[in-house]
Structure 1
Amino acid sequence: MVRCTSFRVPREPAVLLLAILAMLSIYGWTQQQEVSTTPAVHVRRSHTEVMIAKTKPASEDPTRKSIDPFPLLWAEHDSSEPRGEVVWDGRSALCEANGSAPSIPGFQKLSPLIRDFLRHRHCRNFERIIEPRGKCSSGDEFLLLAIKTVAPNVHRRDAIRRTWGQERDIKGRSVRRIFLAGVHDQKSETRFLNALLQRENVEHNDVLQWNFYDTFFNLTVKQLLFLDWLNETCAGVSYIFDGDDDVFVNIDNLVQFLLTQQQQQHIYTGMVIKNAVPILNQHSKYYVPSQIQAKKKYPTYVSGGGIIMSSWTALQIHVAASSLPILPIDDVFLAQCLELLGLKPQYHNGFRTSGLNLPGKRVNSFHPCYYREMLLVHRLLPYQMLPMWEAVQDPKLRCGNPL
């Protein structure tokens, strides 16, 4: 560390110049001393070598003394070695735009976001950038927490890892965690955020990322890619929690609920929404024009903030999804798959994806006694997550009959 002391700035130009040169010399010497005590890091490697190194847990590599900091961020500025590393920027080579999309009636009047969606609506395959190792290696995992996130939400992911998303055994049943992400759509931040997710996966082995733009309209794409991975890698898990990274989940209650449902093959449970229709307000992020959704009514669906489903149901949805055009509203698309399969969602009062709102001005809904009774509540901020989790887990917490 460079230690600076205060000094008086000389007014004479020559003396000032000498002072600046002296300080630069001291700084350079100090940096040289620091570098000499740090192991060399080889930055320029092939993409495959980088991904293997980044996704291999440190415990499996005894020769690995430290994590390489943010790989490839400065590589494009280094012209001393040949280029050629893969840059994951959301522009997938597996997704070519549909040239006939502009012929759709009214196409030019739609927003750029919707036009882009229509051009790429057919795309269902994207390169897998990061993948955890051995997530379902035992073959008998009980509950997999599949949490939709975006790269900048590092504080939410960390809060979940420390609280309800802990990988542990509950009542002898294993709970495992995975975060689902694409590529951030702000180009200036892409390389930094990709490196951040790589680093998180090295440390926690819980990130699954693909090379598509992680936007609201691509949530269904993320869902389909997860189902592909589930079918390929983790089909032996019993149940899947599919939810967002801004919810609070009482995992103990969730496991207890699932233990009572083990005789049921089909489970697709959460906060059920009926009689919903496509939003036609062009200023709403949920706006779905007739060029995307011709039907005037959505099927009954479970709010995508948090859904619990059996592996059997998830894999049935995976099959049905291939025969339906992608809808940007992911929870409605999953409901369309259920409708095609002749399956129905189930309502559970413990899922509060619209928040926990209690009547009366004097009633404090942000109280652990209410959260202790729930399975899921939307939403808690990261700084609220830990104290609420600790309070709910506190054996000294005494509650009456709050709900």
Structure 2
Amino acid sequence: MSELPISKGERTPWIKFRRCLWYVAALIMVGTLVIYSSVFQESWSLNPRTSTPNSSTSHDSVPPLVDEYTVAYPHEYHFILDELNRCREESPFLVLMIPVAPHNREARHMIRSTWGNVTMVQGKVVSHYFILGQSREENGAETIEEQLLRESRDHRDILQSDFLDSYHNLTIKTMLMFEWLSTHCPQTSYAMKVDSDTFLNVHNLVGMLLKAPQHLYMTGIVVRFAPVLRDQNSKWFLPFSTFPESVYPTYAIGLGYVFSLDLTRKILEAAQHVRALYIEDVYVGLCMKHLGIPLTDPPRNDMFMIWKPSDTGNCYWTSVITTLLHSSNQLLDVWKSYQIQAQSGC
């Protein structure tokens, strides 16, 4: 059936109605886009990974994500206790960087009394610094921050930043170590990250470095093809959603690894593109993989030791570079044994 003809006067109200519907729909679409854009920008600006001192705009930068298996890095942290000029003035051949908890004054005292007191080896200057974050704890009438301020004035070896010091944030502490070295030690050849509960033979370390590569160099206990732990009861558990690969890249165990200073800026550059896992030594390995730089095995497998053997006679302490102890409280006795072996001609 054909449609009845409609006069011009009859079409006008229908056209006006359709135009009103179009305007309403357009307004709804524009409003939705404005709201979405506002929410998206707000959520992005609140993410601590998007504003960093070293970041550059890049399409392949690390996705913004911080959860219980990652940490807020890159991020603009600040040093609240610092040694601005000491490393430049001393121009050390080797800098020892020791991560330690703010309240662990005893460990710092033990190190200063033992291997931290070795400042010259074969004509090469060696210096050390303790790197730490902030604590929520208090210690009697005097706060930990007040103790640290006094300790910093007395020893000039405290580097404290404004992140919360915790095991979970060890990656932040390590990356701030690289940041500090890259900006404060222009004449330094090598640095070592070494845990506070570790025996360190500085003489053997310098002797190894005098024969080591001077560029793109990292060594220690080098681990290859380590499986990712999926057991939720493990201290180092990582879910598949955070790290889908079944094995880790090659990395150096965090109790003590050595690196040439030219690696610091490169690792910081890689950190712009690699999500920061809370397992700090694995994360450094991920950055090295991103850079395509292989780690170097030490000249001997028994130079860097994880566990102290039951028998430490026969010149053991004079033959190694590092050995992990049960705690820093053992360090003084071990240091005496080392000195006895060294004096006996070992």
User: Counterparts of 1:304 and 1:205 in 2: how far apart (Å)?
Assistant: 25
SS in 2 for 1:336: helix
Instruction: Provide the residue aligned with 1:389 in structure 2.
Output: 335
Instruction: Provide the residue aligned with 1:19 in structure 2.
Output: none
Correspondence 1:321 to 2:271? yes
Superposed, 1:4-403 pairs within 5 Å as 115=67, 121-122=72-73, 124-138=75-89, 140-166=91-117, 168-186=119-137, 192-261=143-212, 263-348=213-298, 349-357=301-309, 364-367=310-313, 369-379=315-325, 381-394=327-340, 395-399=342-346
**Matched residue type, 1:236:** Q
Q: 1:351–1:195: structure 2 CA closer, same or farther, 3 Å change rule?
A: farther
User: Counterparts of 2:317 and 2:178 in 1: how far apart (Å)?
Assistant: 30
CA displacement at 1:232 relative to structure 2: 1.5
**Matched residue type, 1:311:** L
User: Counterparts of 1:216 and 1:204 in 2: how far apart (Å)?
Assistant: 25
Q: Deviations over 1:174-200 (max 9, x none)?
A: 001100101125478897222222121
CA displacement at 1:387 relative to structure 2: 3.0
User: Counterparts of 1:387 and 1:187 in 2: how far apart (Å)?
Assistant: 30
Runs of 4+ in 1 over 3 A off after TM superposition: 95-99, 114-118, 120-123, 185-191, 350-353, 380-383
**Conservation of the 8 A alpha-carbon contact between 1:184 and 1:190:** no
- TM-score, normalised to structure 1's length? 0.64
CA displacement at 1:137 relative to structure 2: 2.4
> Which structure's CA Rg is the greater one?
2
SS in 1 for 2:336: helix
Name the Cα RMSD after superposition: 2.6
**Conservation of the 8 A alpha-carbon contact between 2:251 and 2:282:** yes
SS in 2 for 1:180: strand
Q: 1:274–1:132: structure 2 CA closer, same or farther, 3 Å change rule?
A: same
Instruction: Provide the residue aligned with 2:37 in structure 1.
Output: none
Q: Deviations over 1:293-317 (max 9, x none)?
A: 2322210111010001111123321
Q: 1:143–1:180: structure 2 CA closer, same or farther, 3 Å change rule?
A: same
CA displacement at 1:266 relative to structure 2: 2.3
Q: 1:122–1:312: structure 2 CA closer, same or farther, 3 Å change rule?
A: closer
User: Counterparts of 1:310 and 1:350 in 2: how far apart (Å)?
Assistant: 21
CA displacement at 1:337 relative to structure 2: 1.0
CA displacement at 1:216 relative to structure 2: 1.5
SS in 1 for 2:319: coil
Q: 1:277–1:202: structure 2 CA closer, same or farther, 3 Å change rule?
A: same
Q: 1:178–1:187: structure 2 CA closer, same or farther, 3 Å change rule?
A: same
CA displacement at 1:202 relative to structure 2: 0.9
Q: 1:290–1:191: structure 2 CA closer, same or farther, 3 Å change rule?
A: farther
CA displacement at 1:384 relative to structure 2: 2.5
CA displacement at 1:352 relative to structure 2: 3.6
**Conservation of the 8 A alpha-carbon contact between 1:306 and 1:353:** no
CA displacement at 1:355 relative to structure 2: 0.7
Q: Deviations over 1:235-270 (max 9, x none)?
A: 321100112111000000001111112x54222010
Q: Matched residue pairs, number?
A: 283
Return 249-258 or 187-196, whichever deviates more: 187-196
Return 376-385 or 266-275, whichever deviates more: 376-385
User: Counterparts of 1:256 and 1:233 in 2: how far apart (Å)?
Assistant: 24
**Matched residue type, 1:377:** T
Instruction: Provide the residue aligned with 1:106 in structure 2.
Output: none
Instruction: Provide the residue aligned with 1:24 in structure 2.
Output: none
CA displacement at 1:368 relative to structure 2: 7.3
Q: 1:227–1:388: structure 2 CA closer, same or farther, 3 Å change rule?
A: same
User: Counterparts of 2:136 and 2:69 in 1: how far apart (Å)?
Assistant: 14
Q: 1:351–1:200: structure 2 CA closer, same or farther, 3 Å change rule?
A: farther
SS in 2 for 1:159: helix
SS in 2 for 1:345: coil
